Amino acid sequence: MGIISIKSSDNLFWLGRYVERVFTTLKAFTQCYDKMIDVNDDEYISFCAKLGIGGNYSCRQEFISSFLFDIDDPASIFSSLMHAYDNAVEMRNEISSETLSYLQMAVDVMEKSRGSTAPLLKIQEVTDWIFAFWGSADDNIESEVSRNILKFGRSIERIDLYTRLDYPAELIRKEFSIMLNRLYKVGVDCNANAIAQLEKMILESDDYRPYKASVQNELAHIFVTGVMN
Amino acid sequence: MYGLIEHTDEINRLLARYGVKFGIYKNNVFNERLFPFDTVPRILSADEFGFLSRGLRQRVTALNMFLNDIYTAKRIVKDKVIPEEFVYGGAGYMMECEGAVPPKGIFCHISGIDLVQGSDMRWYVLEDNLRIPSGASYPMIARELCRRASPDTFRANSVVDNRNYGELLKKVLDYSNCGGINVVLTPGRFNSAFFEHTYLAEKTGSVFAMPQDLFVEGNVLYYSEYSGRRQRVGAVYRRISDDFLDPMTFRADSLLGVPHIMDAYRAGNTAIVNAPGNSVADDKGIYYYVPAMIKYYLGEDAILSNAPTYLPFYESDRKYVLENISRLVIKDVAESGGYGVVFGSELSLEQIYELKKLISKQPRRFIAQEVISFNNLRVFENGVPGERKADLRAFVLMGEETVVWQSGLTRFAKDADSFIVNSSQGGGFKDTWVLSR
């Protein structure tokens, strides 16, 4: 394969972004959850503020159930997973039934975990399926272009989330370098100005944090064919 | 066989894993449902399949000749084998297809012929589906899982492998291809058979396309790549109905179609699979005439029987239908998917009165059939054996040669006393085994 349309490239890009969003926010959520046990009941408020999701949750318990499972909450992990699934299901022939099946299983786990008294134990499987998804994508996506667009989406989302979550500058630089590598491999026109700006803010300065908002803004404009899905 | 039955739940779980679903609209809400799979297969012996195969090839060959004729010379009408008003008065005839002959003269690339087996073990054709018949992917993927679940069952039985449907379909697409890539065109994510669209694109190695990915320039159909390049399209396996296929030719309000795709088709630059206009041949009214069609075009008697059918359009048939309505099944020719089918025996006196009035007023709209006593099939529901009415959708593929896929979709009714086997009505499916000896 490898003959893909603008819409398909968009599906792949956002598939990569949403899968990564599920993966990284789930990891960050787990850390936040842990702190809420005996350090700070209201940890979720700063967690939501960092992610820029408003945090209109009335209490810790509501945050836990909504952020994980409320499909109507656009910030929730389940909602992100369904967005990933919706993009993937249109790309079955490109990513393969096998790769798609791992997302289907992640969705099934989320659905089953909703009523659990120990949801974090259950949704560990979501992380497992995501790892399997990436392994299968590497193995089964024949087209290098498609694979790179998918992973390019993952890199963009990862940098975006890492900066929101105040991860160390060194880590951001590493992810940015990986992203640049992918971008050149993708072989599509991209926003050269956005890249130049990001290089200045991430690679050439000691710390990206003073430019955090600008970094996120430029990241949103790199993939010029991409539109929100 | 027990090795399969004991793994029914696991196989169904795996089918869910692979997203084997169909979509359904109810009260304007779209939902995806799993299609329950019963592991006990329908088994066709080599002889039985050979008989069906001959009959199906004969039937589809005649239907294809009918389509070539009806949109060009119209000999069958001129020779009064089929009444003119029956062809042109029905919703199936498409004036827009007049004079359009598809590449290699193939209209019916993929035909889904629905059959039932009576308790007398005779097979009857219930319906010809020549537009966009769906369902082949279900037994194909189910077979894959059944073989994993119980290899001994397959080692002990000489079952012809049915996992070649993708290759057969690819051959059909390649044969009709007018130069360029093959694409599978879907109307989108919320089509009831979306799973199958994506799955068959994967299995045929075709490019999967949404309507906005395709455009026509200079009577040539192209697929627009994200890089700005374009690929010429030689064959489109479209899963969009004629009405919505081309807003410049058919429904102008269609947002699902590809403008001017009919121009590319008429110019012989792309094959549309199945060809536009096929609805005139799988109309429930035209069904009545298929045996006459076979005789007319091929000079042969039909190998496969129709279910005994009456056309209220004819006075004598109308009289019979009105007198015997309480034991007949009445079908509205405009409906499909199990809708518009009523059993006279289930109607109240008032409903019978209303239906009789309607039939008398619009006789062309209905056909009536004798209720066939089905040969029920064994199913296991939650491990408990039972019996259900079931049909068989056989797939006939027409390319360089006409072949019948050595399998088929066996659909069974949800409830023991129901005759409606459509998935949209809650039924399930079985694999269909063809034995090699």
Residue B338: give its domain's CATH number. Answer: 3.30.1490.270
Which of B141, B198, B239 would best serve as a mutation to test chain A binding (most A beta carbons within 10 A)? B198
Q: What is the pLDDT of residue A119?
A: 85
In Å, how far is A31's CA from the nearest CA of chain B?
30
Is residue A224 assigned to a domain?
no
The two beta strands, B181-185 and B230-238, are parallel
What span, in angstroms and rounded, lies between the C-alpha atoms of B55 and B71? 25
Q: What CA–CA distances, in Å, run from B350 to B84, B319, B354? A: 34, 19, 6
The answer to whether residues B149 and B10 touch, using CB atoms and an 8 Å cutoff, is yes
Average pLDDT over residues A71-76: 93
> Is A155 a member of any domain?
yes
Q: What is the mean pLDDT of residues B230-246?
A: 97
How much is the mean pLDDT over chain A?
Answer: 90
- Separation CA A61–CA A37 (nearest Å): 12
Residues B189 and B315 in one domain: no
Residue A188: the pLDDT is: 62
φ/ψ (deg, to 5) at B229: -75, 165
Q: For residue range B138-166, list pLDDT tens digits in order.
A: 999 999 999 999 989 998 999 999 999 99
Which amino acid belongs to residue A70? D
Output B76 or A226, whichever has higher pLDDT. Answer: B76
What's the rounded mean pLDDT across residues B10-24?
87
pLDDT 10s digits, A120-132: 888 899 999 999 9
Interface of A with B in 2-61 (CB under 8 A): 3-9
Domain boundary at B370, B388, B419, which? B370
Using the Cβ of A178 and the Cβ atoms of chain B, whether some distance falls under 8 Å is answered with no
Do B14 and B103 lie in a common domain? yes
Residue A37, classified by CB atoms within 10 Å of its CB into exposed (0-12), middle (13-18) or buried (19+), is: exposed
Q: Is A100 on the interface with B (CB under 8 A)?
A: yes
Interval A87-110 mean pLDDT: 95
Q: Which of B190, B208, B221, B231 to mutate to test the interface with A (most CBs of A within 10 A)?
A: B208
Among all residues of chain B, which has the CA nearest to that of A187? B227
CB contact under 8 A, B224 and A3: no
Q: Is B22 helix (H, G, I), strand (E, B) or coil?
A: strand
Give the end-to-end CA distance of chain A in Å, rounded to a whole number. 23
Question: In angstroms, what separates the C-alpha of A222 from chain B's closest C-alpha?
Answer: 15
Where does the pLDDT of residue A115 fall: very low under 50, low under 70, confident under 90, or very high at 90 and above? confident
Q: In this model, does residue A228 exceed pLDDT 50?
A: no
Q: Is the pLDDT of residue B78 over 90?
A: yes
**A14 in a structural domain:** yes
pLDDT band at A187 (very low <50, low <70, confident <90, very high): low
> Domain span at residue B294?
2-300+374-434
pLDDT tops 50 at residue A214? yes
Structure tokens at B101: 């002959």
Q: Across the interface, do B16 and A1 touch by the CB < 8 Å criterion?
A: no
Which position has the higher pLDDT, B337 or A62? Answer: A62
Least Cα separation, residue B56 to chain A (angstroms): 31
Q: How many domains, in total, are found in chain B?
A: 2
A194: containing domain? 6-219
Residues B52, B151, single domain; the answer is yes
Question: Domain check: are B355 and B406 in the same one?
Answer: no
Distance from CA of A225 to the nearest CA of B (A): 8
Q: Is the pLDDT of residue A1 over 60?
A: no
Token pair 């589906």 is found at: B129
Q: Which amino acid is at B411?
A: R
Q: Tell me the pairing of strands B37-44 and B428-434.
A: parallel
Chain B residues within 8 angstroms (CB to CB) of chain A: 16-19, 181, 184, 189, 194, 198-199, 201-202, 205-210, 212-213, 223-227, 231
> Quick check: bond before B274 cis, omega within 30?
yes
Q: Could you tell me if B199 and B318 lie in one domain?
A: no
Residues B137 and B266 in one domain: yes
CA distance B426 to chain A (A): 22
Q: Express as a percent the part of chain B with pLDDT over 90.
A: 77
Averaged pLDDT, A153-165: 95
Give the Cβ contact number of residue A56 at 10 Å.
11
What does the pLDDT read at residue B401? 97
**Pairwise CB contact (< 8 Å): B194 & A89:** yes
pLDDT in tens, B288-305: 999 999 999 999 999 999
The answer on pLDDT for A176 being more than 80 is yes
Distance between CA atoms of B385 and B53, rounded to whole angstroms? 31
Closest by CA position to B220, among listed B178, B162, B163: B178
The Cα–Cα gap between B328 and B320 comes to 10
Given a cut of 60, whether residue B103 has pLDDT beyond it is yes
Residue A229 has pLDDT above 50, yes or no: no
Backbone angles phi, psi at B24, to 5 degrees: -150, 135
Q: Is residue A99 part of a domain?
A: yes
Residue A227 lies in a domain: no
**B260 & B245 share domain:** yes
Where do the H-state alpha helices sit in B162-289? 165-176, 194-204, 242-245, 261-266, 284-287
**At residue A58, what is the residue type?**
S
* Residue bearing the bigger pLDDT, B171 or A34: B171
Strand partners, B435: B159
Beta bridge partners of B25: B30
Position A109: which residue type?
A: V
Residue A1 counted as domain residue: no
Task: Indicate the Cα dihedral angle B236, B237, B240, B244, nearest 10°.
Answer: 20
- Which among A39-43, A44-48, A167-171, B109-113 has the top mean pLDDT? B109-113
d(CA A44, CA A36): 8
Look over chain B and give the mean of its residue pLDDT values, rounded to a whole number. Answer: 92
Chain A residue numbers touching B213 (CB-CB < 8 A): 5-8
- Among A9, A105, A108, select the one facing B226 at the smallest CB separation: A9
- Average pLDDT of span B54-65: 98
Structural domains in chain A (count): 1
User: Are A97 and B226 an interchain contact pair (Cβ–Cβ within 8 Å)?
Assistant: no
Residues B336, B380, single domain; the answer is: no
Which of A97, A111, A224, A229 to mutate against chain B (most B CBs within 10 Å)? A97
What interhelical angle do B8-17 and B137-149 show, nearest 10? 130
Same domain assignment for residues B44 and B134? yes
Mutate to test the interface with B, among A1, A5, A129 (most CBs of B within 10 A): A5
Q: Are B209 and A1 a contacting pair at CB < 8 A?
A: no
Between the CA of residue B361 and those of B182, B350, B351, what are the distances in Å?
A: 46, 17, 15
Tokens of A26: 């789930």
What string of DSSP letters covers B130-172? -S----THHHHHHHHHHHHH-HHHHHHS-BPP-TTHHHHHHHH
ipTM of the complex model: 0.76
Q: Do B338 and B253 reside in the same domain of the chain?
A: no
CB contact under 8 A, B226 and A188: yes
Judge whether A226 lies within some domain: no
Which tokens belong to A9? Answer: 């490239």
* Closest-CA distance of chain A to residue B165, Å: 16
Q: Are B230 and B273 in a shared domain?
A: yes
**B303: helix, coil or strand?**
coil
Cα–chain center distance at A27:
11
* Residue A225: per-residue pLDDT: 63
Would A229 be classed as within a structural domain?
no
The percent of chain A in helix, strand and coil, each rounded to the nearest 5, is 75, 0, 25
Gap from A111 CA to chain B (nearest CA, Å): 13
One domain for residues B192 and B268: yes
Does the pLDDT of residue A41 top 90, yes or no?
no
Strand partners, B332: B366
Asked if B414 contacts B427 with a C-beta cutoff of 8 angstroms, the reply is: yes
Residues of A in contact with B194 (CB under 8 A): 89
**Among the listed residues A134, A126, A153, the one whose alpha carbon sits nearest the alpha carbon of residue A95:** A134
